[in-house]
Structure formats: C-alpha cells, structure tokens
C-alpha cells in the first residue's frame, strides 16, 4: 500500500485551501490520560500530520513530544492512521479525514 506521504508534494499546493477545513483526530485513551482536560476526539484545521501534532501541542502543551520525537519522526511505538492508512509526519490531510493516534503493541 502506498504511504500517504507519497502525496506530500500535492499537499503543498492544496494546503491553503485545506487549511480552512477541519479534520477529526481521535486520540488513544492512554495518551489522553497524560493530559488532564484533553479529549478523545478533537476537530481541527491541519494540512499535514505534522501540523496536526503542532495543533495538539498548542491545545495541550507537551502532547507533541509524546507523539513525535526529535529526529523528527512519529515515535517508534506510536501509530498515526489517516483514513485507514499508516501515516508519517509529511502525510497530507484532506478535508473530512479521520486521523487516529494510537499506541502500538509494545512492552512487557
């Protein structure tokens, strides 16, 4: 399956249009537990996964660090899915997209 970041060039052209339209972000409960007051589902304007994480960090300071490391990349044991496909930071978001931020099977 093609990764959504293959479309990243297209994202640049369309980001100005998409920026005005919301996507729905669904967050893992174990992530929400770390940020009192955060919500399991949030609607926001973001043209890429990276922008979405920036917005989550603005809403709940520190949440960005929990999803994205300093390479920068999505953390090894985190999964971000955009409309059913695993995404990277560059993956573009389209109006109406559903994004899941999940914890991978990990640990012992």
Partner 1 sequence: MAKRILILIGTKKGLFVAESDGNRKNFRLRGPYCNTWPIHHAILDPATGAIHAAGGNEWFGPAVWTSHDLGATWTHSSEGLAYPEGEEPVSAVWSLAPGRDGTLYAGVQPAGLFRSTDGGRTWSHVNGLRDHPSRPHWNPGGAGLILHSLVPHPTDPDRIWVGISSAGVFGTDDGGRTWEPRNRGTRADYFPEDQRYPELGQCVHCMVLAPGTDQLLYQQNHCGMYRSDDGGRSWTSMENGLPSSFGFPAAVHPRDPQTVYLIPLNGDSAGRFMPDAKTAVWRTRDGGASWQAMRAGLPQENAYFGVLRQAMAVDRMEPAGVYFGTGSGEIYASADEGDSWSQIAAHLPTISSVETHVLDA
Tell me the closest approach of the beta carbon of residue 28 to partner 1, in angstroms. Answer: 9
In this complex, which beta carbon is closest to partner 1, that of residue 19 or of residue 34? 34
Binding residue for partner 1, selected from 11, 23, 25, 31, defined by CB under 8 A: 31
Least separation in angstroms between CB 66 and partner 1: 4
**d(Cα 106, Cα 78) in Å, to the nearest integer?**
9
Q: Which residues, 56 to 85, sit near partner 1 by CB under 8 A?
A: 62, 65-67, 69-72, 75-78
> By CB neighbour count within 10 A (0-12 exposed, 13-18 middle, 19+ buried), where does 77 fall?
exposed
- Going from the C-alpha of 60 to that of each of 8, 47, 63, 90, 96, the distances in angstroms are 26, 19, 6, 21, 22
The Cβ-side half-sphere exposure at 24, using a 13 Å CA radius, reads 7
**Rule CB under 8 A: which of 89-108 touch partner 1?**
103-104, 106-107
Interface residues with partner 1 (CB under 8 A) are 30-31, 33-34, 62, 65-67, 69-72, 75-78, 103-104, 106-107
């Amino acid at each position: 399956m093609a990764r959504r970041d293959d479309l990243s060039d297209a994202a640049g052209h369309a980001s100005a249009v998409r920026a005005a339209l919301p996507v729905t972000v669904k967050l893992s409960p174990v992530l929400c537990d770390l940020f009192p007051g955060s919500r399991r589902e949030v609607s926001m304007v973001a043209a890429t996964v990276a922008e979405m994480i920036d917005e989550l960090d603005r809403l709940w300071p520190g949440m960005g660090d929990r999803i994205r490391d300093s390479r920068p990349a999505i953390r090894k044991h985190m999964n971000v899915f955009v409309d059913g496909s695993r995404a990277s930071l560059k993956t573009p978001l389209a109006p109406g997209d559903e994004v899941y931020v999940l914890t991978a099977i990990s640990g012992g």
